[in-house]
Amino acid sequence: MSEPRRSRLIVLAGPTAVGKGTVAAEVRRHHPEVWLSVSATTRDPRPGEENGVHYWFVSDDDFDAMIERGDLLEWATVHGTHRYGTPRGPVELALASGHPAMLEIDLQGARQVRRTMPEALFVFLKPPSWEELVRRLVGRGTETAAQRERRLATAREELAAESEFDVTVVNHEVHAAADELVALMTFDQASAPARGETTTD
């Protein structure tokens, strides 16, 4: 069969500062039919971030409790500092209700989901070049020099993971990358049994 494998669940991963969050926000803005997972994290909110929208901001104790209860589909310590995890229930609900769903998580998390949900489509978001990745990382300006070095080291390792993924999308430009992602989902919707509106205005 030459037809690409289909899945309602897309896992988007890629190196630090490649723009996963921006691409996910673009999908959220233009494609409300795609359900986006809201992760739990132990880090503090950045200016403009809202609890329950960008993340669920939780304490270390709360995060421990979520792990103990088995509430997380996957979780990881990212950049050696804070923990991030995907609440399991909402993902299962979204899939059960027939919505295409997307997780934007780090590589360690993507590897865990591949073990538990191998039917998902794993998409690697890649920068146009290493130089561009460094430029974007520096440009963000929200990290200290030490944090940035740590992120670069992580990014180098993460770039090497591309071959583990089903599909690569190069993030030359956010609209184009989001369109490419949605095209993967649109293919899914067009090929799956009809299920209500699938407008993509």
Residues near ligand 5GP, by CB under 6 A: 16, 20, 39, 43, 74, 76, 78, 84-86, 104-106, 108-109
Whole-angstrom distance, CA of residue 83 vs CA of residue 60:
8
- Minimum distance of ligand 5GP from residue 107's CB (angstroms): 8
* Amino acid at the residue 4: P
CB of 5 to ligand 5GP, least distance (A): 23
Instruction: Tell me whether residue 65 or residue 190 sits nearer to ligand 5GP (CB atom).
Output: 65
User: Please, which residue, 13 or 184, has the CB nearer to ligand 5GP?
Assistant: 13
Q: How far is the CB of 40 from ligand 5GP (least distance, A)?
A: 7
Burial (CB count <10 Å: 0-12, 13-18, 19+), residue 102: buried
Q: Cβ-closest residue to ligand 5GP?
A: 109
Our CB check for ligand 5GP shows the closer of 86 and 171 to be 86
Q: Which residue has the tokens 């991030």?
A: 84
**What is the dihedral sign for C-alpha 21, 41, 31, 114?**
positive
Q: Smallest distance, Å, CB 39 to ligand 5GP? A: 3
Angle (CA) 118 123 129, round 5°: 145
**Shortest separation between residue 44's beta carbon and ligand 5GP, angstroms:** 10
> Between residues 49 and 173, which has the closer beta carbon with respect to ligand 5GP?
49
Q: For 164-196, b where at least 16 C-beta lie within 10 A, e where not — what string?
A: ebbbebebeeeeebbbbbbebbbebbeeeeeee
Residue from 118, 101, 82 nearest 37 by CA: 101
Of 17 and 185, the one with the shorter C-beta distance to ligand 5GP is 17
